[in-house]
Amino acid sequence: MNIRRMTDLDLSGKRVFIRADLNVPQDERGAITDDTRIRASLPGIEFALKAGARVMVTSHLGRPKEGEFRPEDSLAPIAERLAALLGRPVAVRRDWIDAGEVAPAPGEVVLLENCRCNKGEKKNDDALARKMAALCDVYVNDAFGTAHRAEATTHGIAKFAPVACAGPLMAEEVSALTRALAQPKRPLVAIVAGSKVSTKLTILQALAGKVDRLIVGGGIANTFMAAAGLPIGKSLAELDLVEDARKVMAMLRAKGGEVPIPVDVVVAKSFAPDAPATEKAASAVAADDMILDIGPKTAAMLGELLQSAGTIVWNGPVGVFEFDAFSGGTRAIAAAIARSPAFSLAGGGDTIAAINKFGIAGDVDYISTAGGAFLEFLEGKELPALAILQQRAA
Ligand code: ADP
Ligand code: MG
């Protein structure tokens, strides 16, 4: 892939704008529960600082509403962790679009507040992108996690900045995934789970064409259970997408690999860490139940399937693993991946948190910081943030 790399450029005295992916999981009080993405962004930031650049870093965090700023949207906790890891102060700039110069002194770094609070970010608005491009001499995209989205900080700014290049994390992710997925050892088994049901379900059809077996979990499995005619009570699901789920099921059936539908589940009456957990047959879910995990029989069945895989791709926890009573399914899947002789790749903010929680990081062959982008890359789709960097290098 022909892309300019930040590490090949002379950055001394330059205003360098780094779009990083610092979207880490946080608990209800905003405390960071897994800082893998911050650590993964350090090499790019440190390289620019050492080179004597005037470094500006931004990222999205959570799901803010554009044009609004709530305290929980703030990158302040990220700045604090970043400062501790870098061993130097990291200030946060709240208003950075219309405030004039925001670049700090050479060799210093500033964090530009949550970019998804800016109006026009998601729509990739040209006017916003031009304003951001005017803040820098060099634009660096080091956020592989958002490479599948064309937004103002991932795409528009790259059109207008004097120079646009990839940071070291982006460059490394692309080359590692290209190597691993060019000719995967078969059968290729994908686990797609978690809570971003509509985003992930829409890419499942394309993914179904690439993989030999597909395992669903979390809100996606609930949608598949509904598609299979099972009761799902009040569970997280996307009932509009039941038809899409059926298509995916038919595609895999045609390849000789049914999508396994959970046979047992763990349910609760409310979504809370201390909600009493009940194991049930999948057919016995009540109208006021929420499915928060797969049951032990399902976990064992999926674990067996993973033992015969050649390559495993994992994105998304299969249950609410943050709550101990609903963490058994994800723990079992993690253990099965660790045990399997298959080459394993995993990605996604919460997936990484689960990998760390269950202590299997050393047993996964490649861990990507990305979730959605990782799945779309596997799907073989052109990622807009990479495409624009290629155009700018031509
Ligand atoms: P990733 O960040 O790895 O891409 P997602 O963000 O899509 O994954 O999903 C992770 C979240 O999904 C976790 O916080 C987990 O609690 C939640 N989750 C998993 N299973 C369920 C379920 N059955 N119901 C509700 N939430 C779920
Ligand atoms: Mg997530």
DSSP string, 103-165: --STT-EEEEP-GGGSTTTTTT-HHHHHHHHTT-SEEEE--GGGTTS--IIIIIHHHHSSEEE
317 ligand 1 Cβ < 6 A: yes
Beta-carbon contacts of 226 under 8 Å, excluding residues fewer than 6 positions away, are 232, 237, 239, 242, 245
Q: Looking at ligand 1, which residue's alpha carbon is closest to its atom 15?
A: 320
d(CA 14, CA 85): 23
- The structure's pTM equals 0.88
Q: What is the CA radius of gyration of the chain?
A: 21
- pLDDT score for 148: 95
Statement: residue 203 has pLDDT above 90: no
Distance from the CA of 197 to the center of ligand 1, in angstroms? 9
Atom of ligand 1 nearest to the CA of 271: 25
Neighbours of ion ligand 2 (CB under 5 A): 349-350
- pLDDT score for 380: 86
Instruction: Give the confidence band of 24 by pLDDT, cuts at 50, 70, 90.
Output: very high
The phi-psi region of residue 91 (left if phi > 0; otherwise alpha if psi is between -120 and 50; otherwise beta) is beta
- pLDDT score for 1: 80
Which tens digit of pLDDT belongs to each residue from 162-183?
999 999 999 999 988 988 888 8
Instruction: Name the active-site residue from 44, 167, 349, 371.
Output: 349
- pLDDT score for 246: 97
Q: Which of 54-68, 197-211, 340-354, 359-373 has the lowest mean pLDDT?
A: 197-211
Instruction: Give the confidence band of 199 by pLDDT, cuts at 50, 70, 90.
Output: confident
What is the share, in percent, of the chain residues with pLDDT greater than 70? 100
d(CA 46, CA 49): 5
Instruction: Name the active-site residue from 316, 319, 329, 372.
Output: 372
Q: Are 199 and 315 in contact (CB under 8 A)?
A: no
Q: What is the mean pLDDT of residues 222-238?
A: 98
Statement: residue 14 has pLDDT above 90: yes
- pLDDT score for 21: 97
